Amino acid sequence: MNFVRRMFRKLSNGEDCPPEIVRARQLIAAIDAGGIPLDPRRISMIAESLGLEVSKKARLDETIERIRAAIKRN
As a whole number of angstroms, the distance between CA 56 and CA 51 comes to 15
- Residue 29 neighbours by CB under 8 Å, 6+ apart: none
Domains: count for the chain = 1
Q: Which domain holds residue 55?
A: 3-73
Helices 40-49 and 60-73: angle between axes, nearest 10 degrees: 30
Could you report the per-residue pLDDT of 2-59, keeping only the tens digit for each?
Answer: 666 665 566 655 456 789 999 999 999 999 999 988 899 999 999 999 999 999 899 9
Q: What is the pTM of this model?
A: 0.76
